[in-house]
Every structure is written in structure tokens, then in C-alpha cells.
Amino acid sequence: MSLQRKQTLSEIMTAFRIPQILLGGEGDTYTKATAQAAEANYASTMVEPALTYIDQVLTKNVRRDYKNDKLVIVHDPVSPKDVEENLKYYKDMISFGGLKINEVRQMENFDPFPYELADVPLINVGGALVRLDTGEQLGATPNNVQDTEEVEDTEDTEEMEDSKMVKSEEMDLHWKQFNRKINHDLKWF
């Protein structure tokens, strides 16, 4: 009888890919880490796909019954997720412009931000954010600050404005770097 019981248990585990520890089998080969990994594997390979299929069928029926294409049925995830690994992935992808802030929020089932910068790829360059669509560095002072001195109308007005704008941009960048260095070193002082 016990041999037949072990054989049945083995057949069920093989047919449904259920880990032995979830059916109350011998747990002498399991540690906490392997038990958690077995549970996560079973939930993500067997339970989640079945629930996703049920969600799709129920969504189709609800949309038909209530005549509303905006209704969606989604189940709560049952497989445990590695929060630390996900946060690291999101942080790395956002830092080099691979993901936008609102894309991450949607992946985590949060409402998107209404701000413009949440839908723009950003990259971290030396501690400063840069918009990838315009190439503008974001910070306390905008990059497009121009001198406010009035120039008399002469033939060289355009050349003078161009040279002033280049000097202005160089000085802004220089002072931004200087301020960042001072702010960084000030806390150590």
C-alpha cells in the first residue's frame, strides 16, 4: 500500500510539475531556499498561466455582458517576486534611458504621472539628468539662459550674439560643475 501511494504521489508530481514539498512528500532534501524556489517555480509555471487564461475568458464575458470594452479582469499575482531584484533592474534601466518612469509605473500597476518628464527617456551623466530627446541637462538653472545685455544694431550683431551665447553656455556649464563640486565637498567639510 505504501509503495503504491509513493508511486501515485510520483505520478501526480510528474504530470502536474508539482514540487514534492507542496504535496507533503519527504522534505529531508529541502532547505528554506529550495522550498521557496520550488514554490515560486510552481506558481509561475503552472498557477499564473492558468489564472491568466481565466482572466482573459472572464474579461471577454464581462465586456460582452456589460457592453464596455474598458473593463478588464486581472488576478493578484500568486508567485512571489524578488522585489530587490526588480528595483535594481528598474533603477539601472531608467539610469541609462532604457525605460521611462511611467513605463515602470505601469509595469508595477501604478497610475502614470501626468508630468512631461515621466514620459521622456532620461540618462544620468555625472550626477546630472539629461533628456535624451532634446539633449538638455536638467538642473537648478536652465541651459538656455542668455545674456540680457542689449546690443546696438550693427552689422556684426549676429556674430556678437552667437559668441555671447557660446560664452554664456560655457560659463553656465562651468558654474554648474563648480556648484555641484562645492555641494558635494561641503558635506564632507
Q: Is position 55 within any domain?
A: yes
Q: Are residues 56 and 93 in the same domain?
A: no
Cell of 158: 549676429
Q: Are residues 87 and 60 in the same domain?
A: no
Q: pLDDT (tens digit, 9 = 90+) per residue, 103-112?
A: 999 988 899 9
From its phi and psi, is residue 25 left (phi > 0), alpha (psi between -120 and 50) or beta?
beta
At 181, the amino acid letter reads: K
User: Over the Cα atoms of the chain, what is R_g?
Assistant: 29
What's the CA gap between 95 and 84, in Å, rounded? Answer: 16
Q: Is position 153 within any domain?
A: no
Q: Is position 36 within any domain?
A: yes
For the whole model, what pTM was predicted?
A: 0.46
Q: Is position 7 within any domain?
A: yes
Asked if the model's pLDDT at residue 1 lies above 50, the reply is: yes
Q: Are residues 6 and 51 in the same domain?
A: yes
Q: Is position 8 within any domain?
A: yes
User: What is the structure's pLDDT at 73?
Assistant: 92
Per residue, what are the HEC states of 144-162? CCCCCCCCCCCCCHHHHHH
| Other CB atoms within 10 Å distance of the CB of residue 9 | 16
Q: Is position 167 within any domain?
A: no
pLDDT, greater one: 168 or 4: 4
The arithmetic mean of pLDDT across residues 145-162, rounded, is: 52
Q: Is position 181 within any domain?
A: no
Q: Are residues 92 and 142 in the same domain?
A: yes
Q: Is position 182 within any domain?
A: no
Q: Are residues 109 and 133 in the same domain?
A: yes
User: What is the structure's pLDDT at 150?
Assistant: 47
Q: Are residues 107 and 53 in the same domain?
A: no
User: What is the structure's pLDDT at 64?
Assistant: 93
Q: Are residues 62 and 18 in the same domain?
A: yes
What's the CA gap between 6 and 174, in Å, rounded? Answer: 75
Which of 15, 39, 66 finishes a domain? 66
Mean model confidence pLDDT for the chain: 78
Q: pLDDT (tens digit, 9 = 90+) per residue, 74-117?
A: 888 887 777 888 899 998 898 888 899 999 999 888 999 999 88
Q: How many domains does the chain have?
A: 2
The arithmetic mean of pLDDT across residues 128-155, rounded, is: 63
Which of 39, 66, 93 finishes a domain? 66
Q: Are residues 61 and 88 in the same domain?
A: no
Task: Find the domain containing 27 and state its range.
Answer: 2-66
Asked if the model's pLDDT at residue 132 lies above 50, the reply is: yes
